Amino acid sequence: MITIDLIAFGFFVYFIGLFSAGIFAIIGGQWRKSAQLFVLVNVLGFLTGVTYLYGFAPKEIILAEWNSFFHFSPTINLLSAIFFTIISGVSSLVGVYGIRYFELYEEIYNNSLAQFLIVFFVVGMQGVLLANNSFIFLFFWEVMSITSFFLVMTERSESSMKAAFLYFIMTHLGAAAILAGFLILGGGSLFFDFSQIAIASQGLSSTLLALSFLLFLFGFGSKAGLVPFHVWLPEAHPEAPSNVSALMSGLMLKIAVYGFIKIVFSFVGLPAWAGLVVLIMGLFSGMLGVLHAVLERDIKRAFAYSSIENMGIIFTMLGLSLYLFAQNASMEFNGIANLIIVFAIFHAANHALFKTALFLSSGVALNRFHSKRLEDMGGLAKIMPIFSFAFLIAALSSMPIAPFGTFFGEWGFVQNVITLLHGTSLDVAVLIVMVVTLAVIGLVSALAVFAMVRIFGISMLGLPRSGHVELRDEKKDYLLTFPILALALLVVAFGIFAKPLISWLASNINSLNSFAQPQYIVTSKLSSAAVFLVLAFIGLFVYAIKTFFAKRCVQRSYQTWDCGQPINETMQYSATAFSAPIRFFFLNLLKREKILKSEPIVLTNPWIRKYVFSLSYKSLWKNKVYQPLFDIVNFFADRIKAMQGGRIQYYLLFVLGTLIVTLIIVL
Amino acid sequence: MNSILATIFQVLFILLIAPFAQGFVRFCKARLQGRKGASPFLPYYTFATLIKKEMVIPKASSWIFHVVPYVVLATAVALAAILPLLFLGGKLASMSDFLIVGGVLILGSIFLVLGGLDPGSAFGGMGSSREMTIAVLVEPIMIMVFGAISFVTGTFAIDGMVGQSLIWAHPYLLLSVFAFALVALAENARYPVDNPATHLELTMVHEAMILEYSGVYLAILEFASAIKIAVFAILLSNLVFPTTLFVLSGSVSVIVAIIFGIIKVTLAMGLLALLETTIVKMRFYRVQEFMSIAFFTAMFGFVIALLSSIMEVSFEYHTMFAVLSILFVILLFGRARSQVMLRYYALSSLSIAGIAYGLALVFEEERQHLLIFAIVTIIIKTFIVPFVIRYVQRKHKDLVSLPSFLRPASSYFIAVVILIVTFFILKRTPIVGLVEFDTLLYASIAMIGLGLATMIVHRNIFSQITGLLIMENGVTIFTLVTVRSLPLLIELGVFAIIVVSSFILSVLSSRIREFHGSADTEELRSLTE
C-alpha cells in the first residue's frame, strides 16, 4: 500500500510546507510559528525519505514532469534519497534548537529574516538533490549560496561582513566553474539532462574531458573545503549564528560531496591521474585541517577546520575509488572501488550528524561565556551536567573509536587499502602512495582525537578561565540540549547498525554508476553491535565490582591540591598551552608569530620583570597564494577603470572594438 | 574447554597477575640499583589498603571525575579479554581487529586525559597535554606495524596474526615487532617516555593525570595501568614466540598455559627493569625523535614486506645484512654526537662483513677470499678506524657534538626520500637486469646517496669524515656485487688508505678547529683575515 504516489505526495507536501514556513516568517514576523512548522515539515520529509529507502531503494522515481518549466522533472534515486533523509532529519533537530537559540539572541538578530533565510536555505539544498538537469541544479545551488551568504551576515558586524563577502566570491567562482563544466558536457546547451552524462563524456576529446573534470573538481571542491580552495570556510562558518553554522558545515558540504559523486563518477574514460590528484588533495586537506583544528583558539574556527579535515578524508576515499575505476584493463577492482564509495558515503552521513551536534554545542558554550575564545571558557560541566554529557557523547562520536559510526567508515577504508596492496597489477608507485595514505590517515585520526579532547576539556572542565559564566538553570535550555543528545545518539546507532547498513548500501550501489558488478567483498566477521555490547557489559561489570568491594567508601570534598600556595583559575592549562607540543612538533608546517617582550618593572632590580606575550597564526595559503592573486586582479582592475572615466571617446572606442572582435569570430 | 570459559579464565589470570607484574619491575630495578627493594607482592597490599581509605574529591571537578576510573578500568579489562594472551580463539577473538584494539586503547587515554583536566590544576593540564601528544604520535605507528603484519598474514584480527609463526618465516617483521616494543614503552608510561616512579613536573605524564585521585579511584587507576603493562608484555612475547599459545580446539593443558604466562610476564618485566636501568628518560620535546624512529622502522618493515611479496625476492642472509647496514646508516643520520655516529658506522661495517659472509655461503669458489675480506673488514672498519678517529679527537680534546641542520624527525624523512628516489632511479636504469643481486646494488647506491647527504646535512666537520666513510662503504658493497672479490693486495691497499685518510682527516679537522676556534661549518664559512 506504499505506492509511488504516496511518496510523491510526501515530497510535494514537504516543499509546500517549507514554502509556507518561509512565508510565515517573512510576512507576519512570527518566526516562532514558522520554526515549529519547519520542524514538523522536516520530520515529514525524513519519514518520506525513509519510506523511499525502505521500499523502493535503488530504483529511480520521477516525481513529476513539468516540461514547460525548464524541463524540470524532480527525480529521486538512492544517492539523493540518502542525503535527503539526512538533511531533513538534521534540519528538524536544528529547527528545534533554533526555537530556543533565537529566543536567547532576540535583540541581536533579526529573527524573522533569519528564519526565512534558513527555510529557503534548506529548500535550496533539497532542490539540488531533486534536480534532473543542469539548469535546475544550478538554480537551486544559487538559492543555497545566496541565502547562506545573507545568513553569514546575520550579526551585521564588521568581521561577519568581510567573511560573507569572501564566501560570496568563492562560492560564485565555484558555481561558474560548475556551469562551465556543464556547458562542456552538454556541448553548449544549458539544459543538460543528467541521464546523459556517461554518453556525453564518451563523446568528448581527452583534453576537454580533463578540463571538465578539473572544473568540477574546483567547483565542488571549493564548496566542500578542499585545500587549496578552503580559505572561505574558517572565516564564514564561525561568523554565522550557531544553528546556521551547523547547517552549513553539516549539510551544505555534503551537497558538494553529492554533486561530485553524481557527476564525476559517471564519467567514462577518466585518466588515472585524476583519481591520484583527488587523493593527494584529500590528504593535504586532512592534514592541514586537523593541524589547524588542534591549534585554533576560537572554538568555531576549530570546528570549521575539523570539517575541512573530514572532507579531506572523504575525498581521499573518493580519489582512490576514481583511480581504481580507471584501471580498466581488468574489472577486478570495480568491486573494491564501489565498496570504498560506500564507506565514503557512510562517513559523510556520520559527519553530517556529529558536526551539526558539535556546532550546536558551541552555540550553547558561546551563549554562556559570551565569547568564542577557548581561553575564556571552562567549568561548564559543573553548571550544565546534562548538556556536558551530550557534548561529551557528540565529541566522542567525532573520533574514530569503536562503538561510534565514524570508526566504521575509516576502518573499512583501511582494511580495503591493505587488501588492495596484494593486487600485483597495480603500479609500485601507487602501492607506496597507498602505504603513505595509511600512515597519513592514522596521523589525521589521532590528531582529530586530540583536537576534540582539547576543545571539550578546556571548555567544559576545570574552572572558568575568564571568571565569568552565565549561571542560568540548565532546565530552561532543554531545547538546546535535546537536539545535541539526539544527534550524538544517532551516531551511536549508526555505529551499532553499521554492518547491516553498509551491506545494504553495498548491495544497492549499482545504481550509482554505469559499470558496477553486483558482487562485493565482505571484510570480516566482525559485528558492530557486538563491539558496543561488549564494552557496555564490561563497563557495567566494573561498576558492579567496585560497588561490591568498596561499599563503605567515604569521600569528602576539598580544594585541589596546591602545594600550600592558593591557586586560581588563571593557573590552569590554557588551550594554547595544551596544544603546545603539537605546535612544536609540526612547526615547519605552520607559520606562527611569537613575540615575547620582557622588561624589568624597576630598573634597579632585573629579576622582577613584566612579560608581554603574543602568539598568532598566519594562514600560509591566504598570504602566499590568494593575496598575490587578489593583488594582480586589483592591479588590472585599476588599469581598466581608467576607461570608465566619463570620456565619451573611450566608450565609443570600446564599442568599436567589441564590434570588430564579434565580426571576426562570427565570420 | 569452550571459548567463553577460556576468555573468563584469561581475564581472571591477567587480573591476578597484574599487580605482581608491577611489583616485580620495581623489585628488579631495586636489585639492579644495589638496593634490597620491596617484595614483588607489595602492590596487592597497596591496593587492599587504598580501597579502605577515604577519598578526597577536588571542589573544582565535575561528574566526569567520577566516571573516569570506571571507563579506564573497563578499557583495560576489555583489552585483557579481547587479545590472545593465554589462548587462541577465545570467544571475543573476532573483535581483536587491530583498529578496534587501537580504538579501545585511545578511549582509555581520552578519559584519563579528561580526568587530568577536570580538577583545574596546572599539573593535570600538563600531564593531559603530554599524554594526548604521545597517544597521537603512537597511532600511525600502530597502523604501520599491524598493517604490515596483516598484509603478510592476510588477517586483520590480532588473534589470527599471532597464530602464525611470524618472525621465523618473515624475518623483516622483526622491524615491526621492534617498533611495537617502542610503542609499548610509550603506552605504558615507561622509560624513555615517562617515569612512573617520580611525581615531579619534569618527569610526569601518567602520574600527573592521576595526581588528584585517591582511595578507591586511585586503586582502580593503578590497577588499570598494571593490567595494561601485563597485557602488553604477554602480547609482545606472543608475537615473538607464538607456539607458547594454546589453540582451543585440541587437547589443552590449562596448567601449562598458566605456567607459560607467568614465565612470560616474569621475563618481560625483568628485561624491562634492565632497560630502565640502562637508558635515560628523554626530555619530553625529544619524544618526537623516539616516535620517528619507531614510525620509520615500522614503515621500513611494511615497505620491505610489500616489495618482497611483489618482487619475490627470496630472503637470504646477504639481503638481510644489506638491509641492516642501511638501517644503521639511517639511524646514524639523526644523531649528533660523533661517538654515537662512529658506533653506528662500526655496526654498519659489521653488517657489510655479514654481506660478504652471506655471499661466501653462496659462491663456493671464492669463499676463502670473501671470508678473509669479511674478517679484515671487521678488524679495520669496526675497530681500527673508529679508534683512530676517537684517539685523534681525544688528543686534541675536542668537544664533538653539534646538531645537524635538520631536526631528527626531518632527517629520517630525508633518508626515506633518498631511499625512494634511489629505488625509482634504479628501476629506470638498464643495469638492473645484468647484475644478479638487485638488493645489494640498491643498497650500495642508497648508501652512497646517504653518505653524501650526511656530509651535506651535518654541520660538524668531523661528520664530513663519517660521511666519506659511509660513501666508501657503499662503493665496497658495489664491488662485492659486481666483482665479488678483489685480489688480496688491492684490498689491503684499500683498507690501508681508509685508515690513513681517516687519520689525516681527523688531524686536519682538529687543526682547523684549533685555528679557527670552532668545528661548526656554518661559522667556518665566513672569510677570516
Q: Are B198 and B47 in contact (CB under 8 A)?
A: no
Do B248 and B87 meet the contact criterion of CB atoms below 8 Å apart? Answer: yes
Q: Do the Cβ atoms of A355 and A484 come closer than 8 Å?
A: no
Does residue B155 lie in a domain region? Answer: yes
CB A106 within 8 A of CB A29: no
Q: Where would I find the beta strands (DSSP E) of A132-229?
A: none
Asked if pLDDT for residue B224 goes beyond 90, the answer is: yes
- Identify the pLDDT of residue B87: 81
| Nearest residue of B to residue A382, measured between CA atoms | B62
Average of pLDDT values for B408-414? 77
The verdict on residue B379 lying in a domain is yes
CA distance A265 to A348: 17
Alpha-carbon gap: A37 to the closest alpha carbon of chain B (Å): 37
pLDDT in tens, B87-103: 877 777 777 788 889 99
User: Which residue from B minimizes the CA distance to A571?
Assistant: B122
Q: For residues B47 and B114, state if they share a domain.
A: yes
Q: Between the CA of residue B301 and those of A661, B183, B305, what are the distances in Å? A: 64, 15, 6
pLDDT tops 80 at residue A642: no
pLDDT at residue B201, rounded to an integer: 66
Report yes or no on B448 lying in a domain: yes
The verdict on a CB contact (< 8 Å) between A534 and B106 is no
What integer pLDDT is reported at residue A522 of this predicted model?
43
Judgement on whether residues B217 and B339 belong to the same structural domain of the protein: no
B267/B323 same-domain check: no
User: Among the three residues B303, B326, B361, which one is the final residue of a domain in this structure?
Assistant: B303
Task: Classify residue B102 as exposed, middle or buried by CB count within 10 Å of its CB (0-12, 13-18, 19+).
Answer: buried
Higher pLDDT, A352 or B316: A352
| Runs of H (alpha helix) within B83-121 | 98-117
Both B390 and B476 in a single domain? Answer: yes
For residue B143, being part of any structural domain is answered with: yes
Evaluated on CA atoms B438, B441, B445, B448, the torsion sign reads positive
A520 — pLDDT class (breaks 50, 70, 90): very low
Per-residue pLDDT, averaged over B407-428, amounts to 79
Give exposure, B179-199, as e/b (b: 16+ Cβ within 10 Å). Answer: bbbbbbbbbbbbbbbbbbeee
Is the CB of residue A457 less than 8 Å away from at least one CB of chain B? yes
Q: Does B414 touch chain A (CB under 8 A)?
A: no
pLDDT value at B64 more than 90: yes
Enter the pTM of the model: 0.87
According to the model, what pLDDT value does residue A523 have? 47
Examine residue B311 and state whether it is found in any structural domain, yes or no: no
Test A556 with B55 for CB contact under 8 angstroms.
Answer: yes
Q: What percent of chain B has pLDDT over 90?
A: 30
Coil, strand, or helix at residue A189? coil
Beta strands A75-76 and A61-62, pairing class: antiparallel
Nearest Cα of chain B lies from the Cα of A450 at a distance, in angstroms, of 6
DSSP assignment string, A529-567: HHHHHHHHHHHHHHHHHHHHHTTT--EEEEPPP-TTS--
Is residue B160 domain-shared with residue B120, that is, in the same domain?
yes
Which of A374, A406, A454, A560 to probe by mutation at the B interface, max B CB count within 10 Å? A560
Residues of A with Cβ-Cβ distance to B59 under 8 angstroms: 557-560
pLDDT of res. A260: 94
Mean pLDDT (whole number) for A168-193 = 89
C-alpha cell at position B139: 597511532
By CA distance, what is B125's nearest residue in A? A573
Assess whether B286 and B245 both reside in one domain.
yes
Per-residue confidence (pLDDT) for residue A226, from 0 to 100: 92
**A71 or B228: whose pLDDT is higher?**
B228
Query: Which range has highest mean pLDDT (A5-19, B8-22, B280-294, B409-423)?
Result: B8-22
Domain C-terminal end among B240, B275, B303: B303
Residues of chain B with Cβ-Cβ distance to A457 below 8 Å are: 113-114, 117, 128
- Residue B528 has a pLDDT of 67
Tens of pLDDT along B311-355? 665 566 777 788 888 888 888 887 777 788 888 899 999 998 888
Using the beta-carbon criterion (under 8 Å), do A442 and B144 form an inter-chain contact?
Answer: yes
Question: What's chain A's average pLDDT?
Answer: 87
Q: What integer pLDDT is reported at residue A258 of this predicted model? A: 94
B76/B174 same-domain check:
yes
When pLDDT is averaged across residues A63-78 and rounded to a whole number, the result is 77
Give A594's DSSP letter: E
* Lowest-pLDDT range of A319-328, A514-523, B377-386, B393-402: A514-523
Tell which of B303, B328, B349 closes a domain: B303
Interface contact flag, A542 B74, Cβ < 8 Å: yes
* pLDDT of amino acid B375: 87
The tens digit of pLDDT for each residue in A26-60 reads 887 788 888 889 999 999 999 989 988 888 777 77
Instruction: Give the number of domains in chain B.
Output: 2
Model confidence band, residue A289 (pLDDT cutoffs 50, 70, 90):
very high
A 259-318 → B contacts, CB under 8 A: none
Are B130 and B245 in a shared domain? yes
Quick check: B94 and A442 CB within 8 A?
Answer: no
Which pLDDT score, from 0 to 100, does residue A110 have? 85
State whether B284 and B368 are in the same domain: no
Contact A181, A137 (CB under 8 A): no
CA angle A150, A179, A236 (to 5 degrees): 30
Question: Which positions in chain B touch A422 (Cβ < 8 Å)?
Answer: 151, 309
**Residue-number span of the structural domain to which B487 is assigned:** 317-525
pLDDT category of residue A152 using cuts at 50, 70 and 90: very high
Domain shared by B94 and B51, yes or no: yes
Picking from A424, A462, A542, the nearest residue to B77 by CB comes out as A542
pLDDT band at A514 (very low <50, low <70, confident <90, very high): very low
A-B interface: how many C-beta pairs under 8 angstroms?
A: 250
Sign of the CA dihedral running B75, A582, A466, A386: negative
Please tell me whether residues B397 and B278 are part of one structural domain. no
Give CA–CA dist A227/A601, Å, rounded. Answer: 47
Q: Give backbone dihedrals phi and psi of B527, rounded to 5 degrees, phi first.
A: -70, 145
Q: Is the domain of B260 the same as that of B369?
A: no
Taking only residues 52 to 111 of chain A, the set having a beta carbon closer than 8 angstroms to any beta carbon of chain B reads none
Scan residues 349-408 of B and list those with Cβ closer than 8 Å to A: none
Q: What contacts B56, CB < 8 A, 6 or more positions away?
A: A555, A556, A557, A558, B214, B215
Reported as a pLDDT band with limits 50, 70 and 90, residue A517 is very low
pLDDT digits (tens, 9 = 90+) for A81-106: 999 999 999 999 999 999 999 988 88
Closest listed residue to residue A356, CA positions, set A98, A164, A574, A20: A98
Answer whether residue B180 shows pLDDT above 80: yes
> What does the pLDDT read at residue B131?
93
A562 or B132, greater pLDDT: B132
Interface check for B59 against chain A (CB to CB < 8 A): the answer is: yes
Task: Tell whether B63 is within 8 A of chain A (Cβ).
Answer: yes
Q: Facing residues of A61 across strands?
A: A76
Scanning B303-322 for CB atoms below 8 A from A yields 303, 306-307, 309-310
Chain A residues 582-641 with CB within 8 Å of chain B: 582, 584-585, 588
Residue B243: inside a domain: yes
- Among the ranges A200-204, A323-327, A502-506, B36-40, which has the highest mean pLDDT value? B36-40
Q: Which pLDDT belongs to residue B157? A: 83
Buried b or exposed e, range A12-35, using 16+ CB within 10 angstroms: eebbebbeebbebbbeeebbbebb
Whether residue B71 is contained in a domain is answered as yes
pLDDT at A10: 85
pLDDT in the model for residue B312: 62
The answer to whether B8 contacts chain A (CB < 8 Å) is: no
A482 confidence band (pLDDT: 50, 70, 90): very high
Q: Does A550 have pLDDT greater than 60?
A: yes
Residue B309 within a domain: no
Q: Does the structure show a pLDDT above 90 at A272?
A: no
- Average pLDDT for B446-474: 85
CB contact under 8 A, B74 and A550: no
Helix (H) or strand (E) holding A160: helix A158-186
Smallest Cβ distance to B70: which of A443, A542, A556? Answer: A542
